[in-house]
């Protein structure tokens, strides 16, 4: 053990992993095509221990990455080779829940779904609901600005985070935002949320809770083409209805979900559209009649309405299980994440089908149709020479398609390692330089989650005082 590692062992006598067998689970996240062996993993249990770990990294100039449950699909929590993983799983407490103010304060390792379970006795819940919500952590959700099926109506994580206590890359502490919905001064919290760990580590997060909807109306519509389902989404939005969620699954995703959980989907459908209305009962009842007219005129050959909470949950169980269930169809797959305008959904889906045929690879489509957030799952066999490379080329084509149609290379999975090379497809060199200067203003050595988000290039350390110190939000501890 090196002297530096012995020093780290003194700081974390019960929370240091450094043997090969201990490090193996941390070598990759949910994007298993990327792997890297860290020098060590530390398991802090308090804000002060996170500060100690970051300052140790700063002292020895060793890069680090913060990690929760490791569910990132973009390689965002992939360790830096020879760096440190700061695993936040032990910081998993609910610190405070205020039903009157409708807020909850949690540590970063607190699980997404557990927030809603804790708030349920007060008639409240936490709206962002990524498919990984039973296992993903609030810290990771914040880092990648996660969304979920209901982001169409309620927005992303950024719309539900009021404040955060943050350890900056130099080990200093900053308090961003507040418990108020009305912020004062620069929106430092807005800059931090979705920054993929490049600007520091959140150790406490204040979340906004919402009243649970009084009523739900969940519709499952089956189509004979994927394009028709995509066009139906545009028709629903154009009608003036704002559903809580709109999701699409294609035939491969239906096959996988049925095999995994038996959701009772029409197996012969080429595409399924799930639309859920929620809110006060009179409002939902009025919108339900209007929605039925829109759906039936959109070309759906079968329309089902959930008649009970059990039927509603069964419909959603299939959708939530779709990502992992695709593993039943292929030994390997890439989960892509791009966005197109809703009006271009049909065009995008038709082009993805053509690309799938051209590359000779199956593509399962599961996505948040309401905001045009596509999640094509590209199926391949990594044991076949060249097939991974072909799958990656197809993934790149899909991202370029999204940008060409006026969309984005990511909606909620982040850039991470996976999409770094495609940043210039969307941003100019001036844009990327501006982003990098902001990052280097807080982390000149680029120690915090080094190698993520930005295309290649050596960092050029900036000069001048710390911008958050000038703004008065750094708390010296």
pLDDT 10s digits, 128-155: 999 899 999 999 999 999 988 888 899 9
The answer to whether residue 467 is domain-embedded is no
Residue pair 73/116 in contact by the 8 Å Cβ criterion: no
Residue 414 has pLDDT above 60, yes or no: yes
The answer to whether residue 429 is domain-embedded is no
Considering the domain architecture, whether residues 40 and 115 belong to the same structural domain is answered as no
Last residue of a domain, one of 147, 178, 211: 211
Considering the domain architecture, whether residues 329 and 207 belong to the same structural domain is answered as no
Last residue of a domain, one of 421, 436, 457: 421
Tell me how many degrees the CA angle 284-370-151 measures, rounded to the nearest 5: 80
Q: Which pairs from 346-352 meet CB under 8 Å and 24+ separation?
A: 346/227, 346/228, 346/230, 346/231, 346/234, 347/405, 348/230, 348/374, 348/401, 348/402, 348/405, 349/226, 349/227, 349/229, 349/230, 350/226, 350/227, 351/401, 352/376, 352/398, 352/401
Residue 350 has pLDDT above 90, yes or no: no
Residue pair 274/219 in contact by the 8 Å Cβ criterion: yes
How many structural domains is the chain composed of? 3
Considering the domain architecture, whether residues 320 and 369 belong to the same structural domain is answered as yes
Residue 161 belongs to a domain with what CATH number?
3.30.465.10
CA 449 distance to own-chain centroid: 17
The answer to whether residue 375 is domain-embedded is yes
Considering the domain architecture, whether residues 222 and 174 belong to the same structural domain is answered as no
**Confidence tier at 467 by pLDDT (50, 70, 90):** very low
Considering the domain architecture, whether residues 286 and 194 belong to the same structural domain is answered as no
CA–CA gap between residue 18 and residue 39 (Å, rounded): 7
More confident call, 472 vs 225: 225
Tell me how many degrees the CA angle 337-405-127 measures, rounded to the nearest 5: 40
Last residue of a domain, one of 68, 87, 106: 87
Across the chain, what does the average pLDDT equal? 91
**Per-residue pLDDT tens digits for 148-193:** 888 889 999 999 999 999 999 999 999 999 887 776 778 999 999 9
The answer to whether residue 470 is domain-embedded is no
Considering the domain architecture, whether residues 206 and 227 belong to the same structural domain is answered as no
φ and ψ at 217, to 5 degrees?
Answer: -140, 110
Considering the domain architecture, whether residues 170 and 310 belong to the same structural domain is answered as no
Confirm whether pTM is higher than 0.85: yes
CA–CA gap between residue 109 and residue 201 (Å, rounded): 12
Q: What is the CA radius of gyration of the chain?
A: 23
The answer to whether residue 44 is domain-embedded is yes
Considering the domain architecture, whether residues 222 and 313 belong to the same structural domain is answered as yes
Domain region containing 108: 94-211
């Amino acid at each position: 053990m090196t002297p530096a590692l012995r020093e780290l062992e003194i700081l974390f006598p019960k929370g240091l992993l450094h043997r090969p067998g201990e490090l193996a689970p941390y070598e990759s996240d949910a994007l298993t095509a990327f792997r890297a062996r860290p020098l060590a993993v530390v398991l802090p249990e308090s804000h002060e221990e996170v500060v100690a770990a970051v300052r140790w990294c700063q002292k020895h100039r060793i890069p680090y990455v913060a990690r929760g449950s490791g569910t990132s699909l973009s390689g965002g929590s992939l360790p830096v080779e020879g760096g440190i993983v700061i695993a936040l799983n032990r910081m998993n407490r609910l610190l405070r829940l205020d039903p009157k103010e409708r807020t909850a304060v949690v540590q970063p390792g607190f699980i997404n779904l557990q927030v809603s379970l804790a708030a349920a006795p007060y008639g409240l819940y936490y709206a962002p609901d990524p498919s990984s919500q039973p296992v993903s952590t609030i810290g990771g959700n914040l880092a990648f600005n996660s969304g979920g099926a209901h982001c169409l109506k309620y927005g992303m994580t950024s719309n539900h985070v009021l404040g955060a206590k943050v350890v900056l890359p130099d080990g200093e502490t900053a308090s961003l935002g507040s418990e108020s919905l009305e912020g004062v001064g620069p929106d430092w919290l807005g800059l931090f949320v979705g920054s993929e760990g490049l600007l520091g580590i959140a150790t406490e997060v204040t979340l906004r809770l919402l009243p649970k909807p009084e009523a739900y109306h969940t519709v499952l519509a089956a189509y004979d083409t994927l394009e028709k389902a995509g066009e139906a989404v545009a028709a629903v939005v154009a009608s003036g209805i704002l559903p809580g969620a709109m999701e699409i699954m294609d035939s491969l995703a239906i096959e996988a979900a049925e095999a995994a959980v038996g959701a009772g989907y029409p197996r012969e459908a080429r595409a399924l559209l799930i639309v859920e209305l929620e809110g006060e009962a009179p409002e939902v009842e009025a919108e339900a009649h209007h929605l039925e007219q829109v759906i039936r005129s959109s070309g759906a050959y079968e329309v089902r309405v959930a008649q009970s909470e059990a039927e509603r949950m069964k419909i959603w169980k299939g959708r939530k299980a779709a990502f992992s269930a695709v593993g039943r169809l292929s030994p390997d797959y890439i989960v892509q994440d791009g966005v197109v305008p809703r009006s271009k959904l049909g065009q995008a889906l038709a082009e993805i089908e053509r690309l799938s045929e051209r590359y000779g690879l199956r593509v399962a489509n599961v996505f948040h149709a309401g905001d045009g957030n596509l999640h094509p799952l590209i199926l391949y066999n990594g044991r076949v020479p060249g097939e991974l490379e072909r799958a990656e080329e197809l993934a790149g084509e899909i991202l370029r398609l999204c940008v060409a149609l006026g969309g984005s290379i990511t909606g909620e999975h982040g850039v991470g390692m996976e999409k770094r090379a495609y940043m210039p497809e969307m941003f100019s060199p001036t844009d990327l330089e501006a982003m990098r200067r902001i990052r280097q203003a807080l982390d000149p050595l680029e120690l915090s989650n080094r190698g993520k988000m930005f295309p290649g290039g050596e960092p050029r350390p900036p000069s001048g005082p710390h911008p958050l110190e000038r703004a008065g939000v750094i708390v010296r501890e």
